[in-house]
Amino acid sequence: MPELVFDATPLIHFARADRLDVLGDLMSPRRCATTSAVREEIMHGGSIHPHLHDVLDLEWIEVLTLDDPARLLRFSDWMRRVGVTDSGRNIGEASVFAIAEEFQATAVVDDRDAVRVARRHGVTVHGTVWLLARECSDGKLTETNACNIIDALKDTEMRLPCTGMEFPRYAASHGLKNWR
């Protein structure tokens, strides 16, 4: 059973920042998963950013399929809830929420609108900044290293609620800063 279920955004931006190894180290020994829908999204992005294919070979993250009838029904419900569009927008988030709900895992999603929907329907969901703050709290990451990772992710055009310099204050003001 996975503890964390990742959407494409954090995986893509850690890959673009060349920090997948760091993310893998931070997640060890937690059981992590993503979905086949997220995997497809990453594969399509690989045509623009070839280094995204590195995500497809990660050993620390299990790819769960959506072919089980109960999963398909749950996925369908989430597609409706998050408003999957004809262009396929929000398919990854819907699949992540379906799996997180099934296993009572935490979804790692950075799309604010999707996060609001998931929380309204009882799924535990947090973003990348929360994940980094948690690793600081667990003693696996220093505040300085978290700040550097946030800046590296922002350099890949990842939309985050703070810069590295703002991270300590942001974490404290949002109840995320439990380390020290």
pLDDT value at residue 46: 65
Q: How confident is the model at residue 180 (pLDDT cuts 50, 70, 90)?
A: very low
What pTM value is reported for the model?
A: 0.93
Cα–Cα distance for residue pair 67/127, rounded to 1 Å: 27
pLDDT tens digits for range 62-118: 999 999 999 999 999 999 999 887 777 889 999 999 999 999 999 999 999 999 999
Radius of gyration of the chain (CA): 16
pLDDT value at residue 178: 66
Percent pLDDT > 70 in the chain is 97
180 Cβ contact partners less than 8 Å away, ≥ 6 residues apart: none
Average pLDDT over residues 129-156: 96
Cα–Cα distance for residue pair 159/171, rounded to 1 Å: 16
Domain boundaries, the chain: 4-126, 128-173
Question: Residue 136 gets which letter from DSSP?
Answer: H
Structure tokens at 97: 């929420």
9 Cβ contact partners less than 8 Å away, ≥ 6 residues apart: 109, 110, 111, 128, 158
Q: Which fold has domain 4-126?
A: Rossmann fold (3.40.50)
